[in-house]
Amino acid sequence: MQQSVSRQDFDRWMVPAYSPASFVPDRAEGSVLWDQNGKDYIDFAGGIAVNALGHAHPELQQALTQQAAKLWHTGNGYTNAPILHLAKQLIDATFAERVFFCNSGAEANEAALKLARKYAHDNFGPEKSGIIAFNNAFHGRTLFTVSAGGQPAYSKDFAPLPAGIDHAVFNDLDSVARLINDRTAAVIVEPIQGEGGVLPAEPAFLRGLRELCDRHNALLIFDEVQSGVGRTGSLYAYMHYGVTPDVLSTAKALGGGFPIGAMLTTEKLGAALNVGSHGTTYGGNPLAGAVGGKVMELINRPEVLEGVQLRHRWFTDGLNAINQRLHLFKEIRGLGLLIGCVLNEDFSGKAKQFSLAAAQQGVMVLIAGANVVRFAPSLIISEQDVETGLARFERACESVIKGAS
């Protein structure tokens, strides 16, 4: 028998890179989660935009356990049927013609940035290596991706950082025009800045990036790690915007909770990653392939994607009603089921307090920076769970107001 463990054990045994909630989740079903003491929570966090089909979805359980009984892992000296099926599903559903599988969002972006550099080196020479990224962007925690990210707090202590990365201002095309030139290999951008505050790109900005990249033979990389797999109500946000990238990274919801990442690109560009140029031991393993294939099958349906728009309204109607009564947010923004409530001046910097109060009331929410309370629930959350969760969130808001006054 294993001894029971508690939240305090995290501080005793784990590197303090995280500061997890005071409760320890024990089990979950759909959009309800229970902690070790049996207290229930409505899950509006979705494992940070990962559990797109909620928890313990019966068809995902079946896909995983059936594959677990068959074949777990072979390494990349062999391919396997589940991952090939998933590659075909992604190709059929998007602009892509080639896929590279890995295990996380950071790895998908790492692959995208390395592809861009390699393609530029192979075709234009070593001078073409510049990367343009954006202030406040988030692309992951490997050294290359955290350097591309636009939050120096996450990268500065790990210097020296990879060179050749410049940062422009999100939604400001002129700031990109000033930096881009023929030595630029790629521009990497989130169609909606997620961690940076749930800030959607303006359509003209993404269209302008496409034009600038074409003019300078630079690749346009969309980081859709957070915005992809139905989150915006389109399968990928690029479809919503009508701007097609050259390379797209996807992860998080693609595995519905099972670790997987993928980089999508065209046949021509993908060819740059020739044999031996890049790789990962676990990327494209059959377990991830089986679960990802089922996730794609279940999410890429009109009724699910349209359901995201409906649920967006349930959330925004409910949050607007809370705001009319309590006057907390200066803006409620986002697309589909990636929603951010920007706190007004009276509560600025206090997003974490709202998420702590929410947990106390039995609802899990996210933050995106110090000023934004973020919601990224299951794409198939029920109306009842949304109502219950928002009622609990309203009580949490009231408790923060009381504490603040």
Range 161-180, binding ligand PLP (CB under 6 A): none
Work out whether 251 is an interface residue with ligand PLP (CB under 6 A): yes
Using CB under 6 A, pick the residue from 134, 138, 238, 241 that binds ligand PLP: 138
Q: How far is the CB of 73 from ligand PLP (least distance, A)?
A: 20
Residue (138 or 144) nearer to ligand PLP, CB: 138
The window from 219-227, 341-349, 351-359, 385-393 that contacts ligand PLP (CB under 6 A) reads: 219-227
Reading the block at residue 34, the tokens are 């229970």
Work out whether 109 is an interface residue with ligand PLP (CB under 6 A): yes
Block residue for tokens 């995106």: 368
Alpha carbon distance 74, 392 (integer Å): 46
Using CB under 6 A, pick the residue from 35, 43, 223, 385 that binds ligand PLP: 223
Alpha carbon distance 35, 32 (integer Å): 10
Q: Which amino acid is at 269?
A: L
Work out whether 299 is an interface residue with ligand PLP (CB under 6 A): no
Work out whether 294 is an interface residue with ligand PLP (CB under 6 A): no
Reading the block at residue 133, the tokens are 């990224």
Work out whether 104 is an interface residue with ligand PLP (CB under 6 A): yes
322 conformational bin, left if phi > 0, alpha if psi -120 to 50, beta if neither: alpha
**Which residues are documented as binding site for N(2)-acetyl-L-ornithine?**
141, 280
Work out whether 226 is an interface residue with ligand PLP (CB under 6 A): yes
**Which residues are documented as binding site?**
105-106, 138, 141, 223-226, 280-281
Reading the block at residue 318, the tokens are 């409910």
Q: Which string of b and e fits 226-242 if b means at least 16 CB within 10 Å?
A: bbbbbbbbbbbbbbbbe
Q: How far is the CB of 261 from ligand PLP (least distance, A)?
A: 6
* 148 close to 137: Cβ distance less than 8 angstroms: yes
Work out whether 155 is an interface residue with ligand PLP (CB under 6 A): no
Using CB under 6 A, pick the residue from 57, 98, 139, 240 that binds ligand PLP: 139
Range 10-69, binding ligand PLP (CB under 6 A): 48
Q: How far is the CB of 305 from ligand PLP (least distance, A)?
A: 20
Reading the block at residue 295, the tokens are 């996730």
Q: How far is the CB of 399 from ligand PLP (least distance, A)?
A: 28
* 196 close to 228: Cβ distance less than 8 angstroms: no
Work out whether 140 is an interface residue with ligand PLP (CB under 6 A): yes
Alpha carbon distance 307, 188 (integer Å): 30
Alpha carbon distance 331, 353 (integer Å): 18
Work out whether 197 is an interface residue with ligand PLP (CB under 6 A): no
The window from 32-40, 99-107, 122-130, 388-396 that contacts ligand PLP (CB under 6 A) reads: 99-107
Q: How far is the CB of 194 from ligand PLP (least distance, A)?
A: 4
Q: How far is the CB of 70 from ligand PLP (least distance, A)?
A: 26
Alpha carbon distance 33, 27 (integer Å): 6
Which residues, at least 6 apart from 58, have a Cβ–Cβ distance to it below 8 Å?
none
User: Could you please report the per-residue DSSP string of 305-320?
Assistant: HHHHHHHHHHHHHHHH
- To the nearest 10°, report the CA torsion of 52, 20, 43, 47: 0
Residue whose CB is nearest to ligand PLP in the complex, by number: 105
Q: How far is the CB of 260 from ligand PLP (least distance, A)?
A: 9
* 347 close to 320: Cβ distance less than 8 angstroms: no
Work out whether 394 is an interface residue with ligand PLP (CB under 6 A): no
What is the separation of C-alpha 378 from the centre of its chain, rounded to a whole number of angstroms? 13
Number of residues in the chain: 405
Work out whether 361 is an interface residue with ligand PLP (CB under 6 A): no
Residue (227 or 361) nearer to ligand PLP, CB: 227
Q: Contact residues for ligand PLP (CB under 6 A)?
A: 48, 104-106, 109, 138-140, 190, 194-195, 223, 225-226, 251
